[in-house]
Structure 1
Amino acid sequence: MTTLTTESMRAQVADSWHLSAAAGVDAETAQAPITLEASDLRDHREAHPLARVFPLLDDVLGQAARECGAIMAVSDASGQLLWVCGTPSMLRKAERIGFVEGSNWDERMAGTNAPGMALRLGQSVLVRGSEHFRRSVQQWSCAATPILDPASSTLLGVLDVTGGDDIAVPQTTAMVRAAARMAEAELARELLSGGPQQLAGAAGLQVGIELLGRHEALVSVSTPGRRGTPIRLTPRHSEIVLLLGTASHGLSGDELAVLLYEDDGASSTLRAELNRLRHLLGDELLLSRPYRLATTIAGDWLAVEAQLAAGDLRAALRGYRGPVLPRSTAPGVVRLRERLHHSLRAALLASREADLMSAWARTAWGADDYEVWLAQRDVIAPASPMRALVEGQIARLDRELA
């Protein structure tokens, strides 16, 4: 069996191995855990949105997988496999690694694998045999891609093809991605043809704002069933949209200026910026007296705040792609950025979850977080393979801080 060397391991795979080890996954464990018992599986599948498009997926991708000696699987957003399809002989082989309906392939439970990585990264992933963390899975290769809700862009689950070395090619990833997009298109078609009652809750426009870890925000204006093409804003317009997006009752020109500028006397500049932004977004979206965005706002930072408030730290960390507009010095933006970052970090330290701390410490904003490295050392087992890495980073920071 092939053994990976440090030089041959892709960065995404290395990150996943660290996460798997920090979560306590045993590389010698043969099977993935069952988190959805057979008695609950049927009801969970029938209630899941992907049940409506599973027959399409099985017809388009499942049949192709059977013909080439592979397996098609569909998971929910937590990594639980809802459907696993293949020939009887392939399904029996898959049982040996726990690749069965009801098992959970989140990386923190099953180690590095394509469905788990696709869930965490939100993108298509191909994992070749020896890249898997658990040794029992290293005879398999897999390609997976997320499936999103066409109305809200939230994650519904993951579509996966698992088989031998022959599927570890870019064409497999392209085929899986195409099938997932077909499923999303069918869900969108159902939404648009569902009649006034179904569309009532999604009526009107929605402005989506992505700015976590970005210096320039991406803004998209969506209608029910269709997401608009993202527009990249200038840094100043990004700051304005953020500030208006967090002010439910709007802001006067003076209030916005105080939040936006570090000095006084910028009112004429602000008016010019607002006029340019109104021209970009449209008169119907950016209103004045007070300044406000006249539609529903969906922001990535708002999602992280809501997940944190609900106690779902894992989801909050998964959605946190970096500090809010990290280069901005606007007083209002700095306040929002520090509030979210410090709240998330405090929850992380209180969690005492080694895998979450490890994920934080492997980011650009967490790599030198001395307190998190110390907290991680306190909670990992003395025999953990992560201990040497953690001790080494603490020693590095000791030298640099000294």
Structure 2
Amino acid sequence: MQPVPEPAVAVGEDPRSYARLMSAVYDATMTGSRAPARPREVIGASWQRMLASGIDPDERTPPVVETAGLDMLRRSSGLLAVLDEVSHGLESLVADGENILVVADAQGRVLWRSGSPSVLGNADRLGFIEGAHWAEGAVGTNAIGTALVSQRAVQVFSAEHFLRTHHSWTCAGAPIRDPRTGQVIGVVDVSGPAATVHPTTIALVDAVARLAESQLRSEHDRTLNRLRALAAPILARMGSPALAVDTDGWVAAVDAMPLHNRILLPEQLTPGRVWLAALGMCVIEPLPGGWLVRPALGEDATDADQLSRVTLDLSNPDLPSLCLAGEFGSWRHDLSLRHAEILCALALSPQGRSAPQLADDLYGDRTRVVTVRAEMSRLRKQFTGLLAAQPYRFAGSVDLGIRYPADRRMLLPPSTAPVIRNARMAGPPSPAVRQDG
């Protein structure tokens, strides 16, 4: 059960009076004098952590900022799926122009922020910008860092901040947990000038964080249901114990085996024979969005390392697809136009393509690497084990074939990507790629 969020300023309490009291408490605490009152428990505990760590409350060193890898941090945070939900739920607090909305990751790094230019400008002066580290160890007591440490929703008002430079601000933050594991994956925060403090803000921020968790749970259920629908007929045909898991090891379907909720998978997983702690030696094959797993029997020893036979089927101008035929069965996955373009570009270049090269292939613009990396992240998650990176390419464990339309000029007709325009006029693909009839 989640603890009830405690506002810094209670309903009916005068914020100015509370700010003056907290300023006196803060000054006394920092100088080791007798304070006129005690700070709230969550604030007092944070102050003690800061004092014990030797952080100087008057230090003006700006926080560490990571900008080069910001896009990668966003994609790996697990928070992209709930960004719209969070923004919509808190737009009433940001629309008046007095507050900014911030979403940070599990390490307290600011991933996104939005708000009026004037408040964003004030935040800039504090170093409260995208990519900045906002954990307690970086900037002292604050709603993001203290919510991460306390694992609860926190409102920090004026002199409750450990750094004196932050006393003109108020902020309310609530942790967002991965509903599958219970682990905190980020924080949603609303911040602004201290005069904007309101006792209901923390409750609203906490409620939006809970809605975000509910959305994550629903999205995970939808992902498992899609995988289950694909894997169930394959499992039924196999006639041997097996299960289907998503890319994180969560079980979507099982046949003739004890029930498992989740299987711990190695970080780097490829098709073939793999030792899994829960099952022993297993033979695995890729599925769209996951893996097909079977405990290895003696007769599997010679066949388990065979290549996955994959065909990029572009023969139907209106319905490109990726097909896999493996030892356990086969599946077919329809492709969006963009993903068909990317896979075609990779099939035409077995040696691989860098992000700038793919950007040139798709857009005729080598600078659009952020978009390319985002699309490749989605593709590699969708087709686990089939695609490799650095450079982007089909994995060595894949026996790749490509099927073209009878009239090469009909290759992906809606596409304007340079690589597809060139392929319409080109001859056969590289000898490293099967050309299926």
TM range (shorter): 0.3 to 0.5
Q: Which has the larger radius of gyration?
A: 2
| Higher percent of residues as strand | 2
| Higher percent of residues as helix | 1
Greater relative contact order (CA < 8 Å, ≥ 6 in sequence):
1
